[in-house]
């Protein structure tokens, strides 16, 4: 008996298995450094490093764990950011968005209906300083790029370390 027949007998389709595997992968991703890692608090604003969230669904999952208004620092966003249910979720959670990276690689067009409070910065360090100016007491600055590393970073660890350095310099 092949694997597909076995899973069909169990009542599981290939799509169900894919969703299960993706969910398990996201659960594994949400532990350890650079994954909802508390960095510190400045003037009543908490700073959280979620550099390990390299896909939009991982970022959305991280946001679902935060109960305070979010100033989100993101990178080059995927096309699915423009889907209605994603934008509705973001409207409920995000008060401002700071995109970092090279112009033209950010997915800004899909975000225009989402927020008036959208800012850009070419460097992550600048994005952190912009977020500091936007965030109010009781809010959270979430660094969750929703993209792979780039813009001068070798990997998510290096990118997350740079975020933590910038927060410590606030």
Q: What is the mean pLDDT of residues 111-122?
A: 76
Q: What is the mean pLDDT of residues 3-14?
A: 50
Look-up of token digits 């959270």: 140
Residue 1 shares a structural domain with residue 80: no
pLDDT, residue 2, reads 53
Residue 36 shares a structural domain with residue 107: yes
pTM of the predicted protein model: 0.78
Residue 6 shares a structural domain with residue 77: no
Q: 151 φ, ψ to 5°?
A: 50, 40
pLDDT, residue 74, reads 93
How many structural domains is the chain composed of? 2
Q: What is the mean pLDDT of residues 20-41?
A: 69
Q: Which domain does 64 fall in, by range?
A: 31-168
Q: Does residue 30 or residue 90 have the better pLDDT? A: 90
Residue 75 shares a structural domain with residue 146: yes
Residue 10 shares a structural domain with residue 57: no
By three-state DSSP, how is residue 48 classified? strand
Confidence of residue 145 (pLDDT cuts 50, 70, 90): very high
DSSP one-letter code for 19:
H
Residue 77 shares a structural domain with residue 5: no
Q: What is the mean pLDDT of residues 86-102?
A: 89
CATH code of the domain in which 75 resides? 3.90.190.20
Confidence of residue 152 (pLDDT cuts 50, 70, 90): confident
Q: What percent of the chain has pLDDT over 70?
A: 72
Whole-angstrom distance, CA of residue 167 vs CA of residue 170: 5
pLDDT, residue 24, reads 57
Listed in sequence order, the residues at least 6 apart from 66 whose beta carbon sits closer than 8 Å to its beta carbon are: 48, 93, 140, 142
pLDDT, residue 7, reads 46
Q: Are strands 140-143 and 45-49 parallel, antiparallel or unpaired?
A: parallel
């Amino acid at each position: 008996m092949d694997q597909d027949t076995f899973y069909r007998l169990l009542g599981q389709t290939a799509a169900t298995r894919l969703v299960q595997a993706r969910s398990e992968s996201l659960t594994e991703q949400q532990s350890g450094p650079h994954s909802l890692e508390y960095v510190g608090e400045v003037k009543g604003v908490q700073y959280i490093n979620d550099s390990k969230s390299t896909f939009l669904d991982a970022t959305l999952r991280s946001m679902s764990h935060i109960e305070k208004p979010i100033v989100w620092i993101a990178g080059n966003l995927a096309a699915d950011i423009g889907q209605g249910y994603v934008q509705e979720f973001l409207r409920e959670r995000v008060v401002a968005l700071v995109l970092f990276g090279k112009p033209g690689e950010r997915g800004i067009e899909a975000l225009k209906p989402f927020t008036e409070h959208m800012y850009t910065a070419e460097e992550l360090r600048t994005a952190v300083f912009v977020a500091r100016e936007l965030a109010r007491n009781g809010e959270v600055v979430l660094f969750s790029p929703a993209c792979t590393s780039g813009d001068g970073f070798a990997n998510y660890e290096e990118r997350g370390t740079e975020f933590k350095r910038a927060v410590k310099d606030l």
